[in-house]
Amino acid sequence: MKFHVLTLFPDMIINGMGESITGRAIKSGAISLEAVNIRDYAGNKHGQVDDYPYGGGAGMVMQPAPVYDAYRAVADRLSKPCRVVYMTPQGEVFCQKMAKEFALEEDLIILCGHYEGVDERVLELIVTDHVSIGDYVLTGGELPAMVMMDAISRLVPGVLHNDESAEYESFQNHLLEYPQYTRPVSFMGMDVPEVLLSGHHKNIAAWRQEQSLERTRQRRPDLL
Ligand code: 6GU
CA atoms within 13 A on the CB side of 58: 1
Pocket of ligand 1 contains residue 212 by CB under 6 Å:
no
- The Cα 217–Cα 176 span in angstroms is 9
- The Cα 23–Cα 189 span in angstroms is 38
**Do 2-153 and 168-223 have matching folds?**
no
Give the residue, out of 86, 88, 135, with the most ligand 1 atoms within 8 A of its beta carbon, to mutate for a pocket test.
88
Q: How far is CA 114 from CA 38, 89, 122, 167, in A?
A: 11, 12, 14, 36
User: pTM for the whole thing?
Assistant: 0.96
Pocket of ligand 1 contains residue 85 by CB under 6 Å:
no
pLDDT for residue 170 = 59
Pocket of ligand 1 contains residue 88 by CB under 6 Å:
yes
pLDDT for residue 167 = 59
Taken in order 194, 200, 205, 207, is the CA torsion positive or negative? negative
> How many C-beta neighbours within 10 Å does residue 182 have?
7
- Please answer whether residues 207 and 201 qualify as being in contact, where contact means their C-beta atoms are separated by less than 8 angstroms: no
* Mean pLDDT of successive 10-residue stretches along the chain, which has 224 residues: 98 98 98 98 96 96 98 98 98 98 98 92 98 97 98 98 72 86 98 98 98 98 96
**C-alpha gyration radius of the chain:** 22
Pocket of ligand 1 contains residue 136 by CB under 6 Å:
yes
- Burial code (b: 16+ CB inside 10 Å, e: under 16) for 6-45 equals bbbbbebbbebbeeeebeebbeeebbebebbbbbebbeee
Give the residue, out of 13, 87, 123, 127, with the most ligand 1 atoms within 8 A of its beta carbon, to mutate for a pocket test.
87
- The Cα 111–Cα 144 span in angstroms is 10
Angle at 27 between CA 26 and CA 31, to 5 degrees: 25
Domain boundaries, the chain: 2-153, 168-223
Q: Is domain 168-223 given the CATH code 1.10.1270.20 in the classification?
A: yes
Pocket of ligand 1 contains residue 111 by CB under 6 Å:
no
Supply the CATH classification number for the domain 2-153: 3.40.1280.10
Q: Are strands 32-37 and 61-62 parallel, antiparallel or unpaired?
A: unpaired
